[in-house]
Chains A and B, each alone.
Chain A
Amino acid sequence: MTRDGLLMRCLRQRNFIIGAILVGVVLSAALLSYFWTPHSPSRINVPGRLAPASATHWFGTDHFGRDVFSMILVGSRNSIAVGLVAVTIGVLTGVALGLLASAKRGWVEDLVMRMADFTFAFPAILSAILITAILGPGTFNSILAIGIFNIPVFARITRGAANAILARDFILAARAAGKGHIRITLEHVLPNISNVLIVQATINFALAILAEAGLSYLGLGTQPPNPSWGRMLNESQTFLFRAPMLAIYPGAAIMIAVLGLNLLGDGLRDALDPRLSRSR
């Protein structure tokens, strides 16, 4: 059996390809929104409200006459930014805590894991609501809330995977060669668990986007006039009978982003996990 490059292995996964395309669409929309939107997403024009899709307004206009297509574009930027930063917070803190726990063992491990259990005991969206209720609504606070929820996820997964690596013979060899905790962790443990972390980060990215949409839907996330998919959904509710597309566009956008990231994560997992690929 030849060891193909990572890319080749990924490209052999159908999930990965579909996921990559969907995520690519969302990413390019976000990038595009920095340079160009057909209209300003916050420009209110009440006389032209609830207009159907047309050449000027590709997705029509909302109840304040704002251009829905522009709002979707800028909303993607918002979703990706919140997801990315939140997951980064989770990865950096969670992985550090997990590595610390598995390297030190003993009471340190107990403390870190009990804290993770405690945080984990609250459903994600509930703890996010709790945090934004205390800190106040807003993009920054919702990033923080979602990030905090991500910490125990990564702490647990890191500790589990790291403990498995630490039990292997080559670690014993490294230890015999005189390497300390820190070097073993950084040089041997981290590279060996990175695959698991990448897959988990991709999937949590999707969850973070969903959580951001949920918080914004509840009015706790991104505040007007900045567009957000979740708030667009909320605002479209009472117009469902008059302009159902107002709910369908942001709903479809959320679906594409979440589905894309999940498929990408699945594809990555299959590509990175040699056991899975061999069993097929």
Chain B
Amino acid sequence: MRIFTTSLAVALLMSATAALAAKDTIVIGMQDEPPVLDPTQNAAAAIDVIFSVNVYESLVRIGEDGTVKPGLATSWTIGEDGKAYTFKLPKGVVFDNGEKLTSENVKWSFERAGSATSTNPTKRHFANIAAIETPDPETVILRLKAPSSLFLSYMASGGAAIFDPKSADNNKTTPVGTGPYKFKQWVKGDRVVLEKSPTYRDPSKAQIKQATFKFVPDAAAQVPALLAGDIDAFPTVGATETLDRFKADSRFQVVIGSTEGEVPLILNNNKKPFDDIRVRRAANHAIERKSIIDGATSGYGLPIGSHFPPHHPWYVDLTNRYPHDIAKAKELLKEAGYPNGVDVTIKPPPFAYARRSAEIVSAQLMEAGFRVKIEPVEWAQWLDVVYKQKNYDMTVVAHVSPWDQDNYTRGKDYYYGYQNPEMDALMKAVLAESNEAKQKDLYGQIQRKIADEAVHAFMFQLPRTGVYAAKLRGIWKNSPVSVTDLAGLSWVD
């Protein structure tokens, strides 16, 4: 018994001293694990959530307010004709493997991203680059074929990260970058660990010394992990019904914000029956958003009628484009040649918002005559079967990238399977446009076009439902881009 009490006292003492020292590590919970760790090889947003800004750096980055901020480049100028971008790089930047960064790295990275054999998910963004010049090690000039209003935003993406040629091929498993954090460990199926980089150009920047990203796909397991203190921050809690409980607990802060994640009921436009606009419109008339939002996000999501975030000033409310009308949906199905209904499957990935909205939306579609079979898939399966092989009828997933309306111009190569010359023309026009009023007008037309064509049945904008330890500071309320700004985080006593 004495041994027990002594060890108990020692344990208490140890935990007391541990509590006195300011905390300098953090465990961040995530629902999805990245399939690889290289954003230039895979489109999974989870890669950017962990590595962009922290380990890999692009020339510029998107700030919390959604505007373009300096990244690796300290400054930039855009030529009069909008076709020449000159970026200035800081001196003394080294990669985690000790290699020095020069303008040649930018040239090499972008040529790699845009090459014919490139598998970069943002490859199309580099097609507009006509030439890359490197007049000196700290200057890089990108010459474009045509002006592009989104080019600078594109340069902020993980796909435009600047790599070191010697380590680039291994970045899939052992990331090497220039950011304030360096990669330490990846335990597959469990966690990725980053630690403060000793070679970062501004040593005072990061306060958190070690960050662990822990993967907890099961919404029911996320809650006890937070309650037990195993996880300090969970920016996207799946079981939104538990948020009230966290709000009432002084150990936590609940931060609800917006994301760029439009969540449509995605329809495969390149496959029967959704290759027929009447069937797609029937699906649009069949869905009822309030129930989906309440049931899948506890009411936190905002309804959308097209592919555009509702918090943006250019948003056009198209939620009434297809009023909830079962009779109309049945009529459209009949017109399309399915008087007795039609068999379709839905393949939702394992995220709570996706699985739940899939279940509710399936029940709604059934009322209109669709015979829906739910086939839940794991995330890796989703990326392979749905996203890559395009073998699906319907699915549900959040599209978290900003300015991703160009997905509607990617034709049959993209898993939407949607192709329309008018849409291509609109997208081309908006990219070439530098006048903001005209851009707004064109984006309005794009939103209407997506809704008119009923490419998908748009449901809601994914809310950012974050639960954080009460003493954590520097949290992003909204996520205009899928990154975790570790260098901005700190603990208070």
Contact = CB atoms under 8 A, between A and B. Distances in A.
A225 interface: yes
Contact of A46 (B223, B245, B295, B374): B295
Contact of B295 (A64, A219, A223): A64
Interface in B344-401: 356, 359-360, 362-364, 374-376
A238 B375 contact: no
A238 B220 contact: yes
Among all A-B residue pairs, the 8 with the closest Cβ atoms = A46-B291, A238-B239, A237-B220, A44-B363, A46-B295, A46-B294, A224-B359, A238-B220
A49 B239 contact: no
Interface residues of B, number: 21
A45 to B, nearest CB: 8
A44 B360 contact: yes
A99 B363 CA distance: 49
Nearest to A44: B363
Given A44-B363, A46-B294, A234-B220, A241 B245 contact: yes
B295 A63 contact: yes
Contacts of B291: 44-47
B185 interface: no
A43 B367 CA distance: 10
A71 B376 CA distance: 20
A99 to B, nearest CB: 40
A242 interface: yes
30 contacts: A43-B363, A44-B359, A44-B363, A45-B291, A46-B290, A46-B291, A46-B292, A46-B294, A46-B360, A47-B294, A49-B294, A49-B295, A63-B241, A64-B295, A64-B359, A64-B360, A64-B363, A65-B295, A219-B376, A223-B376, A224-B359, A225-B359, A225-B362, A234-B220, A237-B220, A238-B220, A238-B239, A238-B242, A241-B242, A241-B245
B220 A242 contact: no
B219 interface: yes
A238 B219 contact: yes
A225 B375 CA distance: 11
Contacts of A45: 291
A223 B294 contact: no
Interface of A: 42-47, 49, 63-65, 137, 219, 223-225, 234, 237-239, 241-242
B241 A238 contact: yes
Most buried by B among A45, A65, A234, A237: A237
A239 B376 contact: no
Interface in B13-46: none
A137 B360 contact: no
Contacts of A65: 295
Most buried by A among B219, B239, B290, B363: B363
A241 B375 CA distance: 29
Contacts of B363: 42-44, 64, 225
Interface of B: 219-220, 223, 239, 241-242, 245, 290-292, 294-295, 356, 359-360, 362-364, 374-376
A223 B374 contact: yes
Nearest to B238: A238
Nearest to B358: A224
Given A44-B360, A46-B294, A239-B241, 14 more contacts: A42-B363, A44-B291, A46-B290, A46-B291, A46-B292, A49-B295, A64-B359, A223-B374, A224-B362, A224-B374, A225-B363, A238-B223, A238-B239, A238-B241
A interface, over-half SS:
loop
Nearest to A42: B363
A44 B470 CA distance: 37
Contacts of B292: 46
A44 B295 contact: yes
A218 to B, nearest CB: 10
Nearest to B224: A237
A133 to B, nearest CB: 9
A260 to B, nearest CB: 28
A137 B245 CA distance: 33
Nearest to A136: B375
A74 to B, nearest CB: 15
A239 B375 CA distance: 24
A137 B223 CA distance: 25
A45 B356 CA distance: 13
Most buried by B among A42, A63, A238, A241: A238
Contacts of A44: 291, 295, 359-360, 363-364
Contacts of A137: 376
Contact of B241 (A219, A223, A225, A242): A242
A43 B359 CA distance: 11
Nearest to A239: B241
Nearest to B244: A242
Contacts of B219: 238
Contacts of A223: 374-376
Contacts of A224: 359, 362, 374
Contacts of A239: 241
A241 B241 CA distance: 10
A241 B359 CA distance: 23
B64 to A, nearest CB: 29
A137 B375 CA distance: 8
B449 to A, nearest CB: 31
A42 B371 CA distance: 13
B424 to A, nearest CB: 38
A128 B320 CA distance: 47
A223 B294 CA distance: 22
Contacts of A47: 290-291, 294
Nearest to A66: B363
A237 B356 CA distance: 14
Nearest to B373: A223
A234 B290 CA distance: 24
Contacts of A225: 359, 362-363, 374
Contacts of B242: 238, 241
A49 B296 CA distance: 12
A64 B356 CA distance: 9
Contacts of B294: 46-47, 49
A77 B239 CA distance: 29
Nearest to A138: B375
Nearest to A46: B291
Contacts of A49: 294-295
Contacts of A242: 241
Contacts of A43: 363
A242 B223 CA distance: 14
A49 B359 CA distance: 14
A241 B364 CA distance: 28
A47 B290 CA distance: 9
A142 to B, nearest CB: 14
